[in-house]
Amino acid sequence: MANSSFESWTYEEQEEYLYQPAMEAPEGLVSNLDDPPQETSLGFSVTVACTVIAGLALLLRIYSYAFFRRRLALQDLLALFAMTTFGVMLWPGYFMTYIGALFVHQWDIDRWTLADALYMGHIAATMYILTMFFAQSAILLELIRIFIPGNVHIFIPGHTHSKFFWVCRGTQFVVAIYWISVLIFQQFWCRPLSRAWSPWASGSCIDRKVVDKLSAYINIFIDLIIYILPQTIIWRLNSSVLNKTTQSLAFSFALISLALAIARSHNMHSFVYDGDTNYSLSSAYMWALGECLSVIPVYCAPSVYHIITDPKMPPGTSSTIQSARDKFRSSTTKSTSTSNGNRWQGTSSNHSGPSSLPHENRYQRMDDTELSQLPTAR
């Protein structure tokens, strides 16, 4: 029976073929379809951890929006879309665990199971593309909102935009063109598309090795830009080193995303397209899942920083969060006071109160620059 005539086989012949091992076992090994050796628990644990972390990040973002911002912007909608597609991306991990295909060698599963795993891989790849597109677009819009408040439009009469603005907009353009192109390729690389998860069926597929590797490299470049952009502004602030460091750390989650993008790129070089594809697919899925998860804190971290440093805590905030926030602000204030000397000192002891001081001799403690008060990027 030839693979090219699979559709012409009888139902019994197709059933017999699909219930056979998905590939011949290597020399010295025997296929074990009943109880194959597997690392499903590892993959399942990673999937659950990603679910919990993403849920917590979403709750923090909602909390920040509800009590501090209270105005829906385009980036908030894009972030919501990213969270939705990421939620769908989690489903293949649970399903592959259920069917026993996660981190199982291809010779230890039948072709039915392989078809299900490849179909889940197609869904995961599509959701990965959409998640990265929505998340990176939201992050770049949020950077513009934070560092260039009020100047979010490209065409403003009589106004010249900064380099920071144009780099953000240019990167947004690259993100849109790049991910839309990859999405189109993902949906049309096999004709018919069903051959992507039924390689024994009639049809043809494009060799996607070059596209996958190029995709990983471009994504590394985008993550690097997203990390560098806010750092160029933060470290030029007229503020204490501690305050600039904490603000820098709030925007440094992009380093995690960058590291995972590099790791995924390395994984793509070892991906087996013709052979033990199922095992390689499980590994690629885990790296892609981690990378998608990492972009969520990149978007949410500035809001969490704002929650910690905002002088007014919303009603209903727990005493634990309030206490931790106050300790953080206290340490930052002390550092600022020490580093700036008498400029931050209080009123003179020769006066009974602030009201008795002349206006020109009155000193007032000033808070460090908040994220919401960052200067306009130049």
Mean pLDDT of the chain: 77
DSSP designation for 72? -
- Say how far apart CA 157 and CA 161 lie, in whole Å: 11
Please compute the mean of the pLDDT values over residues 272-281 and round it to a whole number: 88
Residue 359: predicted pLDDT: 43
**pLDDT in the model for residue 32:** 84
- Give the amino acid at 342: N
Residues in contact with 26: Cβ distance below 8 Å, sequence separation at least 6, in sequence order: 107
CB 259 within 8 A of CB 272: no
What are the structural domains of the chain?
34-307 (1.20.1070)
Burial class (CB in 10 A: 0-12, 13-18, 19+), 88: middle
Q: Which residues contact 6 (CB under 8 A, 6 or more apart)?
A: 14, 17, 200, 201, 202
Can you give the pLDDT at residue 63? 73
Q: Check pLDDT > 70 for residue 225.
A: yes
Write down the pLDDT at residue 318: 44
The continuous run of DSSP H or E covering 244 comes out as helix 241-250
Q: What is the mean pLDDT of residues 160-169?
A: 82
Q: Could you write out the DSSP letters of every residue in 43-69? A: HHHHHHHHHHHHHHHHHHHHHHIIIII
Tens-digit pLDDT profile for residues 108-151: 999 999 999 999 999 999 999 999 999 999 999 888 888 886 65
Q: How far apart are the first and last CA of the chain?
A: 68
Average the pLDDT over 204-221 and give the result: 88
pLDDT at 91: 92
Rounded CA-CA distance 149/69 in Å is 14
pLDDT at 330: 56
- Between CA 28 and CA 208 the distance in angstroms is 31
Q: Looking at residue 201, what is its pLDDT? A: 85
205 bridge partner residues: 190
For 61, 345, 348, the CA distances from 364, given in Å and listed in that order, are 33, 7, 11
Closest CA to 112 of 12, 205, 15, 36: 15
Greater pLDDT, 324 or 263: 263
Whether 160 has a pLDDT exceeding 70, the answer reads no
Report pLDDT for 182: 93
Predicted model pTM: 0.76
